Amino acid sequence: MTNFPSYYLEELLKSYGEVRAAKEIAGKVRQIDVWFSPDPQQSSDLTTLLGLLGTLAQHPAIFEPFRNAASVEEICNCVLKSLEVRGILQREAKRNKIPLEISIIPKLWILTPTASPKNLLGFGAEPKEPWLSGVYFLPSNFCAAIVVIHQLPRIPETLWLRILGRGRVQRQAVDELEALPTEHPFKQATLELLYNLQRNLVVNQELEKDDRELIMRLAPLYQQEKEQAIQEAIQQAVQQYQQEIVQAVQQGIQREQQLIIRLLNRQIGELDAGLIAQISGLSIERLESLGEALLDFSSVADLLSWLMQQETR
């Protein structure tokens, strides 16, 4: 259950760059949830497909998503990990005797369902134009921001972040996800991750109200998905069976043609290509009739006469 946000972000971003999920860093053992480095050739598609999440991923980024509201200690730990990553990059640049480029320092994005004004004020986090409401930036030297998911406007551009919300916000996002076209590149993968989350929640005996409501919201979608999968499997099996029948009939006709031609070659001599082509075009019923008639043939003329009679019928 706790891995859902990391798996989800990894699934959405993996086509657009390098994703290092659950990345351990030096010093005390600390683990970054998602460290993303965009592919410059793919980054133009990020915002188009993923809206605000794509905008956050336009440049190197560390994503730290929280299922519940991030506490002061948790935010401090995220900032500390981000600074440790910066220190690693600085040491690497020093070893290589090159300046550390600001563009390669990953920006920290803390994704939390809610955040109190007191906590935001304590970190000096403030909104910034022209960013959407719900995005708060720490002082610039920290290269970090807090995204308060429940404050994001309910627009298509924020859908992929609101999926990580809680309660009503998340259920509304699931409704919007369900309404997306079937061919949307991220719809199916996201639903499957949500189904996995649902299965993990079900085995938990001490569920919060939000989790119980999420299970209820996902249950009909999961059932619909299973029924659709069964129907698709049945349809695929029927199509495969039909193809096998057609193939078997075609093979049977070919064997019948080959047998008739061998018998004719023995009865009246070697057939030319034209006669073989005519015989190959006969239906299975006429091939069977030819198989009976050829016993009375004594020359190619008899075969030609028989073929002409078939054309007049």
pLDDT in tens, 187-219: 888 888 887 777 666 555 565 767 666 666 776
Q: Which of 128-142, 220-234, 258-272 has the lowest mean pLDDT?
A: 220-234
| Residue found by looking up tokens 């069976």 in the block | 241
Rounded CA-CA distance 215/198 in Å is 6
11: its two tokens: 């699934």
Q: Structural domain of residue 92, as residue ranges?
A: 4-167
Dump pLDDT digits (tens) for 87-136: 999 999 999 999 988 888 999 999 999 999 999 999 999 999 999 999 99
Strands ordered across the beta sheet of 61-65: 17-25, 30-38, 61-65, 107-112, 144-148, 135-137
Final residue of a domain: which of 117, 150, 167?
167
Q: How confident is the model at residue 1 (pLDDT cuts 50, 70, 90)?
A: very low
The answer to the question of residue 232 being in a domain is no
* 208 inside domain: no
Query: Against a cut of 0.85, is the pTM above it?
Result: no
51 φψ region: left (φ > 0), alpha (ψ -120 to 50), beta (else)? left
Q: Mind listing the pLDDT tens digit for each residue in 39-76?
A: 887 767 788 889 999 999 999 999 999 989 999 999 99
Written as six digits, the tokens of 86 are: 């910066």
Q: How far apart are the C-alpha atoms of 171 and 267, rounded to whole Å?
A: 79
Higher-pLDDT residue of 28, 120: 120
Q: Give the closest residue to 300 by CA, choosing from 269, 273, 257.
A: 269
Strands 107-112 and 144-148: parallel
Overall domain count for the chain: 2
Report yes or no on 210 lying in a domain.
no
Last residue in a domain, options 116, 149, 167:
167
By DSSP bridging, strand 107-112 and strand 30-38 are unpaired
33 and 127 in a single domain? The answer is yes
Whether 50 and 142 share a structural domain: yes
Residue 296's Cβ-side half-sphere holds a number of Cα atoms within 13 Å equal to 7
Whether 150 is in a domain gets the answer yes
Residue where a domain stops, chosen among 114, 135, 167: 167
